[in-house]
Amino acid sequence: MDGDRSGASGNDNSLDSEGNDRKSKLENAVLSWSKGVLKDQRKAGSGDRIDHGSSTGKFPALRRRKHIFVIAVDSDSNEDLLDAIRKVFEAVEKERIEGFIGFILSTYMTISEIQSFLVSGGLNANDFDAFICNSGSDLFYSTINPEDGPFVIDFYYHSHIEYRWGGEGLRKTLVRWAGLVTDKMEGNEEHIVTVAEHLSTDYCYTFEVKNAGRVPPVKELRKSLRIQALRCNVIYCRNGTRINVIPVLASRSQALRYLYVRWGIDLSKMVVFVGDSGDTDYEGLLGGVHKSIILKGICCNTSNQLLANRNYPLSDVMPVDSPNILQTSQDCTSTDVRESLENLLKS
């Protein structure tokens, strides 16, 4: 036994050395990661520092809320969206002022479009704690630090969704596809789908649609991209007049799960407000641990073409008898919203 042990001592040393090397590399990796986190936190401004006195982080404010309300109403009219926001705000005005409830705006719009929408509607960026933009490919937080501007982007969310993102190769393929979608009914080949460079971001390629009735179904586009080993989410937005192409791991519902993973937000304390219908990712916002309220009479003019472009029929994915989903009365008021919330949250 002693002889074997001494004879194998050289191997043990080599194994110990290899183990120490691995341990050293792991420690260095963790140290580098932590330095990066601290560096990004300093960049995010003083709002990202931890308040040890209250044991609660000042940034984002989501972590301090008792409930999180997500307004994910899809409409081709900003007036309808603004009306829905005001009804929800009025329904919980007291709790909103006291800071018990935080709000998230979830939409197909870019952050610059959201800023213009807030200004035109007389709203402030700080009325919301977070903004899920570009159909779920970007995540921003509101901040009161003037040096950072009204919004701070979450770069860690991008690392969460960038798996197998096609990048420039995907963009070129989509541009070629858009050039092939033409209207030949009147003898002239007018392009129906055009690239919207001013609306596109690194993780969202946006196209504007002139005639939604002439655009191929989303299933055909997705199938064509997968044949070329390009996996992504294709979302038909704004009643079919816009197309957002985002990473396959990105979506508005995925962004909510990310908030749970990163900030520990209790999904059972989250309420998602949607309209009668919406973009082709609408069904992903219904069901699950969180609760949902359907605002009847809002976004009820969705075209049949957009409904046909869904992944699944709404009747197959919307559990009408679920205790986590309630519908308001037609053309609801803030009082109706309040009653629905009381019935939903007490269950």
What is the DSSP secondary-structure string of 244-294? EEEETT--HHHHHHHHHHHH---GGGEEEEE-SS-STTGGGGSSSSSEEEE
Predicted pLDDT at 39: 46
Give Dmax (Cα) for the chain. Answer: 94
Predicted pLDDT at 288: 82
Q: For domain 60-163+250-346, is the CATH number 3.40.50.300? A: no
Tokens 């000042």 locate to 58
Predicted pLDDT at 222: 85
Predicted pLDDT at 334: 93
What is the DSSP secondary-structure string of 22-36? HHHHHHHHHHHHHHH
For residue 183, CA distances in Å to 16, 173, 174, 308 come to: 70, 20, 18, 20
Evaluate whether 150 touches 142 at the Cβ level (below 8 Å).
Answer: yes
Q: What stretch(es) of the chain map to CATH 3.90.1070.10?
A: 167-247
DSSP-based three-state secondary structure for 158? helix
> Which residues of the chain, if any, have pLDDT below 50?
1-12, 14-15, 26, 29-31, 33-58
Q: Which residues contact 193 (CB under 8 A, 6 or more apart)?
A: 177, 178, 181, 207, 208, 209, 210, 215, 243
Which CATH number is associated with domain 167-247? 3.90.1070.10
Predicted pLDDT at 42: 43
Predicted pLDDT at 303: 56
Evaluate whether 289 touches 267 at the Cβ level (below 8 Å).
Answer: yes
Evaluate whether 215 touches 240 at the Cβ level (below 8 Å).
Answer: yes
Evaluate whether 170 touches 203 at the Cβ level (below 8 Å).
Answer: no
Which tens digits make up the pLDDT trace of 21-48? 555 554 554 445 444 444 444 444 433 3
Predicted pLDDT at 110: 97
Query: In terms of DSSP H, where are the helices of 65-110?
Result: 78-91, 93-98
Q: What stretch(es) of the chain map to CATH 3.40.50.1000?
A: 60-163+250-346
Predicted pLDDT at 102: 95
Predicted pLDDT at 172: 94
Closest CA to 203 of 175, 171, 225: 171
Predicted pLDDT at 71: 97
Q: Exposed, middle or buried by CB within 10 Å (0-12, 13-18, 19+), for 136?
A: buried
Predicted pLDDT at 309: 58
Which tens digits make up the pLDDT trace of 171-198? 999 999 998 887 665 556 678 899 999 9
